[in-house]
Structure 1
């Protein structure tokens, strides 16, 4: 199994050295206000990603040029973000980081970030998974031990059904299945405990919080929409991995998209919607804290990070 996790590191470069001092910078949090809700970005860590291996493109020069224009080196040090929503009744985590699955000293710091933000893992009542991949559900367990003992995990039924059917390896299965099976195994103790609840497609999960299906990256990939006092925030999961490239070239597919054609269409759909409506985005793989908006820019889009605010303002 350990060997399978390293298969994903064909894309995740292992050439970046990390010192003990750098480790101190990998647990962090940043809070904003969205209507009546408090939303806290939590840094699980970072992972170096080779953009020319992750993004499926016949034009490698285009990828290199877009990175150069944003002053980003390749491999790209990509954030792994999760988000905590505080409501009057609940403490809701959106995605759960990588845990131990990347075998990296600068990822798997989610519970530390939660503590730094003033909470305990035991306080989390619910976990919303955008999908079951290493860096989104991997942190649910560590060495088989449940990290959020009082939480109910919510996931699209299509996503769970897929992994229940593909729990065991098959001959000649796609690389994305093999590389991400550990993400399902990290969820399995919650299934056995009876702490997993499914929904399907668009559903209201809690007052002000709903799901929306964006199937393609995986068979049950969804986003979560938070609305409060005429403000809107959308947690977009894996609809972007390397913003400096994919916002300008949204038709580039991802090596780990299960259905590449559908995933491209979903990316284009949400980018257009976000730019037209000017709503706030929370992105798992945009530089921490991952809050910002999109603006149409020629044939692509421009990412506008939220201004830093000590009061939690998003403007």
Structure 2
């Protein structure tokens, strides 16, 4: 009698953008009992999830490798060991993709929340996970998370999980951290500031030949809700009004320019296109591509 499988296939998916290869990597997912939306009644959220045949609000957490001009960047580092056993799977999926941490030249971050940056450093030893990499991030991110004044106004949970965690994770990289305002930050990768979710939240446009991919960070957290209702904001947004305005701007740009898009909380691997329908938007997942 044959035993059924008890593990999932690796969370690795390749997508060619001209001469650049982007590999989506899964860090896992998280489900939280805490309320995560600011202006969405629970009944409406549950109705939207049920309409999409989902019985729970689970957030995918994705990262991306970018192979360009003989160099390798990792966009986001996953959650490390900070957020529970359903997360922290990026190292295993990096290995499945044939990449060692020391192969990575550059770590790009969209922002410094723990599900994006808590995989920078070993929380037990304080050693960098990516020994040869520079850390590249918008200048407003370390400026905010290393500032004691906004930290003093945060809840105890956010003081520990956001401010203190960020400082611990980033500290070993301070001598190799490069900040930017906008422009090209890696070969073929252009930063598009998208503040609101955090002060330095950034989307990245990857361009090669005629191909373009917009990796929009946390522009969308709940696909079943926020495409149809871009005004819905999240509890971790540092500036909810700016986050909502940025979401509309990014979705409008993606729809008008017909960008291929993906993001850190899109259902893995998350590639697809956006169309506009009245005042709302719709996501069209891209079909599996083979060969990529």
- TM-score of the superposition, structure 2-length normalised? 0.91
For the 8 Å contact 1:132–1:184, the answer to whether it is kept is no
**Is 2:128 the partner of 1:161?**
no
SS in structure 2 of the partner of residue 223 of structure 1: strand
Q: Which of the numbers 49, 63, 75 marks the counterpart of 2:45?
A: 63
Bigger drift between 57-66 and 301-310 goes to 57-66
Q: Distance in 2 between matches of 1:233 and 1:268?
A: 18
Number of corresponding residues: 284
For the 8 Å contact 1:26–1:109, the answer to whether it is kept is no
Q: Cα deviations across residues 138-184 of structure 1 (Å, max 9, x unaligned)?
A: 111122221110010101111111122139952x4256454312133
SS in structure 1 of the partner of residue 35 of structure 2: helix
Q: Distance in 1 between matches of 2:141 and 2:52?
A: 34
Cα distance, 1:282 vs. partner? 1.8
**Is 2:233 the partner of 1:253?**
yes
Q: Which of the numbers 273, 277, 281 marks the counterpart of 1:293?
A: 273
Q: Distance in 2 between matches of 1:232 and 1:152?
A: 25
- TM-score of the superposition, structure 1-length normalised? 0.85
**Is 2:137 the partner of 1:145?**
no
Q: Cα deviations across residues 48-82 of structure 1 (Å, max 9, x unaligned)?
A: 145x81111253332222111111112x2221100
Q: Which runs of 5+ in 1 are unaligned?
A: 1-20
Q: Cα deviations across residues 94-144 of structure 1 (Å, max 9, x unaligned)?
A: 111101110x22211111111101111110000110000000001111222
For the 8 Å contact 2:145–2:166, the answer to whether it is kept is no
Pair 55,26 (structure 1): closer, same or farther in 2 beyond 3 Å? farther
Q: Which of the numbers 211, 224, 228 marks the counterpart of 2:208?
A: 228
For the 8 Å contact 2:135–2:176, the answer to whether it is kept is yes
Q: Distance in 2 between matches of 1:176 and 1:247?
A: 27
Q: Distance in 2 between matches of 1:58 and 1:137?
A: 27
SS in structure 2 of the partner of residue 197 of structure 1: strand
Q: Cα deviations across residues 239-281 of structure 1 (Å, max 9, x unaligned)?
A: 1111111111110111000001111000011111111111011
RMSD: 1.9
Q: Which of the numbers 261, 264, 268 marks the counterpart of 1:281?
A: 261
Partner of 1:89: 70
Partner of 2:60: 79
Q: Which runs of 5+ in 2 are unaligned?
A: none
For the 8 Å contact 1:127–1:154, the answer to whether it is kept is yes
Pair 248,49 (structure 1): closer, same or farther in 2 beyond 3 Å? farther
Cα distance, 1:302 vs. partner? 1.4
Pair 141,125 (structure 1): closer, same or farther in 2 beyond 3 Å? same
